[in-house]
Structure 1
């Protein structure tokens, strides 16, 4: 039940999809030729067997041959890399992961994905 006096329920999955999806769409608008045919997937966890777990959890997977980038929601949302665990820093970490994965796919550094100064983007 929801009413005008009750806050909306917080949904971590929808929040993640909104943040990551929005960042993907922004980068696609900046790099349409390079990212137009790339498939972006958002899954809960990697499908690797448990005995192949690395010391650091996988946050994304890049497959250039299949033109696919897969993001792993649970490891991204539960990452211990945040120095402040609040909504703003969680959002920035998800955006950082999207930039990093796309940069890996394109063979660039994340800051190279930003638009040149004076183009009107913020």
Structure 2
């Protein structure tokens, strides 16, 4: 055999990284290339939080000092005489508006057929709560020229 043939037949040692089962290493499960997971809580927070920020930009003097809370359910006792669930609570004395996620989502799920209608229901609830705090009607919170934020 010639020397050139021996060099080509020589096997080179290749570095391999594998797990104990002989498979190659896997990529991370979550990475920057994957979209953010959508769940009901995150979706509610985006819709309600976005609506609150929009209304704060329209009414900065009246709403900058107001604290907005998003909680799952009311923690106080539920009124048994009331047929409607409590969707939000307005407390003017402490400048606080509290939204209850689960009753809002359940009310929207019961009466709305698609995602757009459920989104509009949450936005309307935010408008209604802020209008109650300001002593106005919900449609009075819209900008005078009819601009929309979406």
TM range (shorter): 0.7 to 0.9
**2:52 is matched with which residue: 14, 24, 36?**
24
Describe the SS at the equivalent of 1:78. Answer: helix
Instruction: State the TM-score, normalized to the length of structure 2.
Output: 0.71
Aligned CA-pair RMSD: 2.1
Within 1, Cα distance between the matches of 2:46 and 2:108? 21
Corresponding residue for 1:98? Answer: 126
Corresponding residue for 1:14? Answer: 42
Corresponding residue for 1:48? Answer: 76
Figure out how many residues of one structure are paired with residues of the other and give that number: 117
Runs of 5+ in structure 2 lacking a partner? 1-28
Instruction: State the TM-score, normalized to the length of structure 1.
Output: 0.86
Residues 26-74 of structure 1 show CA distances to partners (whole Å, capped at 9, x for unaligned) of 0000000000100000000011224x24210000000000000000000
- Cα offset for 1:86? 1.2
Within 2, Cα distance between the matches of 1:40 and 1:7? 28
1:108 corresponds to 2:136: yes
Runs of 5+ in structure 1 lacking a partner? none
- Cα offset for 1:117? 1.2
Q: Which has the higher contact order (CA 8 A, sep 6+)?
A: 1
